Amino acid sequence: MSKSLLAQLREMTTVVADTGDIDAIEQVRPQDATTNPSLLAAAAQMPQYSKIVNDVLLDARKQLGDQAGDSKVTKLAFENLAVAFGKQILQIVPGRVSTEVDARLSYHTEGTIAQARSIIQKYESAGVSRQRILIKIASTWEGIRAAEKLEQEGIHCNLTLLFGIHQAVACAEAKVTLISPFVGRILDWYKKSTGKDYQGADDPGVQSVTKIYNYFKKFGHTTLVMGASFRNTGELIELAGCDLLTISPHLLEELDSTQGNLERKLDPQRAKTMNIDRIPMDKATFDKMHAADQMANDKLKEGIEGFTKALEQLEQLLSKRLSELEAVGAR
């Protein structure tokens, strides 16, 4: 009997689940898992996780006291909730979980560093080693500088919302552990911009990740490439061999139920033989390349705004839940 596409993919790529749904992670059993504010907001509204959410809120209230305003409590609760879900996920996956800092800190180096340290301290207080955590940070110049400092402290980072080679090179030179180029969001931009449909190797998101992967392997960068934000299994098939791929549960199920031969498309030895020019990176070069790349410019801005909105919605949800819990407690 032939192996499924997922079984073959696992032989050449580390498979990561892109979800905050603990039940879904239990079903697909990935090596690692990633979360973000949108995924946490969705998971927080599922009835099976109401106890986790309630416990986090009541703990935050207890920690800050009755005099603290609801906004302070919900901000602390968001960070604690991300860690609470992360701890649950780490009981299932053998590898690492990515936990995201507040998207509103995307252009604030020191604020990002402070929150990352706080998240790691919470995990370590719960007996979880920092080696099992990746701190997710947006790939702005300020975010990359924060990640560089955190990596020097042994806090490993996953640089997200990455759309251009300039962001990738800056991350590699900062020696971050891992980057997450967003395949599907790149495809979305090109489809909207050109009105064309793209398939297989013609997919601009696939081409972007392939270019980054080959550049890293050619120049011996240790930063790992984790393709993210997929729209279809065709994109995953074209990136077989990538260091890691973070995949939503429904696409994991599709790969698992599909038979066929999966060819390795990305190969480190082949990349070493390619004729690729090195790009020396500094802030001026980064800013110039970012300004010239309309897609990366648009999608980074949109991504930060989207995660900020999801976080604000999650805080509203937590604030409402806190009021309900305190009303019940007062009766």
- Catalytic amino acids? 136
Cα separation, 298 vs 228, whole angstroms: 18
Q: Do 292 and 40 meet the contact criterion of CB atoms below 8 Å apart?
A: no
Residue written as token pair 């980074």: 300
* Residue 145: both structure tokens together: 């500088």
Closest CA to 163 of 140, 186, 194, 192: 186
Q: Which phi and psi (to 5°) does residue 224 adopt?
A: -85, 150
Instruction: Tell me the CA end-to-end span of the chain in Å, nearest whole number.
Output: 62
Give the CA-trace dihedral at 316, 318, 320, 322, to 10 degrees. -150
Helical H segments across 13-140, by residue range: 22-28, 37-44, 50-64, 70-90, 109-125
